[in-house]
Amino acid sequence: MIPQSFIQDLLSRVDIVEVVDRYVKLKRTGANYAACCPFHSEKSPSFTVSPTKQFYHCFGCGAHGTAIGFMMEYGGLGFVDAVKDLAQSVGMQVPEEARSEQAQRRAAEGPDLHGVLLQAAQFYRNQLKEAPQAIEYLKRRGLSGEIAKRFGIGYAPDGWRNLEQVFPDYQSKALTAAGLVKQNDEGKRYDVFRDRIMFPIVDVRGNVIGFGGRVLGDGEPKYLNSPETAVFEKGRELYGLFQGRRAIRDAGCVIVVEGYMDVVALAQAGIEYAVATLGTATTPIHVQKLLRQSDEVVFCFDGDHAGRRAAWRALENSLGHLVDGKQLRFLFLPDGEDPDTFVRAHGKPAFEALLAKAEPLSRFLIEELRSRVDSNAPEGRARLMQQAKPLVKQIAAPMLSLLIRKELAQLVGVTQQELDVQFEIRGPQGAPATAPAKRAPAAAPSILRTVLELLVLEPRLAAIISRGDLAQGTGVPGVDQPELQALDAVLEAVGSGDARINLGEVFRGSAHEAVVFNAEVGALRWQDRSLAAAELEAEFRGAWQQAIDRIRRARIAALLDKSRREELSSEDQAQYRLLQQAVSDTSSK
């Protein structure tokens, strides 16, 4: 776990404008910067970056976060990797509160494996220039030198100890830890990759973490992958994601294929938004990573039995990560074809025409279940429901779940409510449909929200108020408790009024995250008013006084309501008198 103190120090040194501008061209607009949002398609800019508050917000799609959040959403990084990437950019070393098992493994394995793997990748690339048979093989597969360079493709020469040219200490523990060298039972060492086209596997930060090697001829295995190491875990990585990030953003789509050559051949044809799993089935972590990159994911498989089985496994591992508004689809190629052979034979337009016809996940799910039973017989329909139940219960997207359940109910001849009972779905998902309620009049803006917005804009204002006054509203009907609790937590967080504190990261993943998020958005509007320090303080003092006054009036109302049910205690009566006096004093000012 990374200490919060380090996170705050990092964000005080990193300029979010510089971070975002590396990927999205920003333009100054008053106190802030603006651009067309990188997370959804738009013609006029609604994406705002605040240099003073160090967060971004899109008024179109709602994307919001800090520099860390931007690296996670735009770069597809996990939280820890995003922190490490930013820390590296400003020369900071990320501390570890407790060394994880993975960190201990890395320390025990000696030298930096990333450096070792990078040296090996450079060696393989240089060897390709001296290997006419390998160059001829790549040309026959239709690859240009430009594409080979883009993906860092190389060649591992035939021979048992070629890496000794690069690593004079061939006995180094790091070579075996990196999966480059093996040792036989007699203690003799030899290169893992020999006489193979080499595809470096790169993580989302551009580090070489492993290799895939393909034989030139008909040898076995056709593909040989690096073993899992301290820096390489097959279930987490996707080949081509680093090279294809920009194309994926531009296309709004990512294609998932099964092989290195599929990715490279599609890129050669101008379809640069493809990635591949690394000799393993699609995992839930893959799905999470892909959905951070794009609103549409298309899984592309061979049309044979094995391809459909792999597609079903991908579907199963996706259900728990589905999001309404994002789409997963499945493309099955004609028999005997894979993306590599198809695009070389038929070209980009033909492949994209097939892509446009890919099946939505919902259709693939229902049709696959339907194909397994006799839906004309009650027994078959009952079996269909039995098979669908555990799958549907995993679907994380509420609206998609509802629509799939409606379609299944119609297919098997029951009502949706009857199906929900059988599927043991309760709460909002399983509740019977009711007539829509009349829209209530818009509520007056919350004064607590106003206090929060101003506090987010200028944390030093916290020094002029008391948390004790705020506590009077705890549990009182008529007082927005989530906002009250969030305001109390923010007051505690800002403490001394340090203007550098980044509240978005303080409350990431907490119960107060949504309220603080909304307050940060509101702070942008206050910032646009360009108030002088004295004016801002006056606004804050006025809002705070209104908030406390409303809390007192709510407590008075609660005590009056209590008095109608029972006799007030002497303590309640004293409190009632004090509150009445405080409200009266405020009104007379």
Q: Is residue 361 part of a domain?
A: no
Domain boundary at 98, 126, 152, which? Answer: 98
Residue 377's domain is classified under what CATH number? 1.20.50
Please write the tens of the pLDDT for every residue from 303-312: 888 899 999 9
pLDDT at position 498, please?
56
Instruction: Give the confidence band of 108 by pLDDT, cuts at 50, 70, 90.
Output: low
Helix (H, G, I), strand (E, B) or coil at 136: helix
pLDDT at position 497, please?
52
Residue 159's domain is classified under what CATH number? 3.90.980.10
Q: Is residue 565 part of a domain?
A: yes
In the block, tokens 């695009």 appear at: 343
Q: Is residue 359 part of a domain?
A: no
- Taking each helix axis as running N to C, give the angle between helix 305-318 and helix 284-293, from 0 to 180 degrees, rounded to the nearest 10: 80
Q: Is residue 436 part of a domain?
A: no
pLDDT at position 206, please?
82
Contacts of 90 (CB under 8 A, 6+ apart): 10, 13, 14
Whole-prediction pTM value? 0.65
Counting beta carbons within 10 angstroms of the beta carbon of residue 5, is it exposed (0 to 12), middle (13 to 18) or buried (19 or more)?
Answer: exposed
Q: Is residue 166 part of a domain?
A: yes
Within 13 A of 70's CA, how many CA atoms are on the CB side?
26
pLDDT at position 455, please?
85
Please give the residue that has the higher pLDDT: either 556 or 392.
392
pLDDT at position 380, please?
95
Please give the residue that has the higher pLDDT: either 432 or 296.
296
164/264 same-domain check: no
422/486 same-domain check: no
Please write the tens of the pLDDT for every residue from 384-424: 999 999 999 999 889 999 999 999 999 999 999 999 999 98
479/569 same-domain check: yes
How many folded domains does the chain comprise?
5
248/340 same-domain check: yes
Per-position b or e across 195-231, b if 16+ CB within 10 A of its CB? bbbbbbbbbbbebbbbbbbbbbeeeeeebbbbeebbb
62/153 same-domain check: no
Contacts of 177 (CB under 8 A, 6+ apart): 109, 110, 113, 229, 230
How many other C-beta atoms lie within 10 A of the C-beta of residue 408?
A: 24
Percent of the chain with pLDDT over 90: 44
The enclosing H or E element of 98 equals none
pLDDT(336) > 90: no
Dist CA 35 CA 20 (whole Å): 10
Parent domain of 35 = 4-98
| Alpha helices (H) in 143-215, listed in sequence order | 145-150, 173-177
pLDDT at position 316, please?
94
pLDDT(216) > 70: yes
pLDDT at position 588, please?
56
Give the max Cα distance, the chain: 98
- Taking each helix axis as running N to C, give the angle between helix 361-371 and helix 378-392, from 0 to 180 degrees, rounded to the nearest 10: 140
Using alpha carbons only, how large is the chain's radius of gyration in Å? 30
Please write the tens of the pLDDT for every residue from 31-54: 899 999 887 767 789 899 999 888
Mean pLDDT of 318-323: 90
Q: Is residue 306 part of a domain?
A: yes
- Encoding tokens for residue 518? 């909304």
Percent of the chain with pLDDT over 70: 92
Mean pLDDT of 107-116: 67
Domain boundary at 232, 247, 273, which? Answer: 232
226/243 same-domain check: no
Q: Is residue 380 part of a domain?
A: yes
Please write the tens of the pLDDT for every residue from 456-513: 888 888 888 777 778 878 888 878 888 888 888 888 888 755 556 788 888 887 888 8
Instruction: Give the confidence band of 318 by pLDDT, cuts at 50, 70, 90.
Output: very high
Please write the tens of the pLDDT for every residue from 225-270: 999 988 898 888 999 999 998 899 889 899 999 999 999 999 999 9
pLDDT at position 137, please?
93
Q: Is residue 291 part of a domain?
A: yes
Task: Determine contact, residues 444/480, Cβ cutoff 8 Å.
Answer: no
pLDDT at position 104, please?
55
- Encoding tokens for residue 27? 């333009």
Average pLDDT, the chain: 86
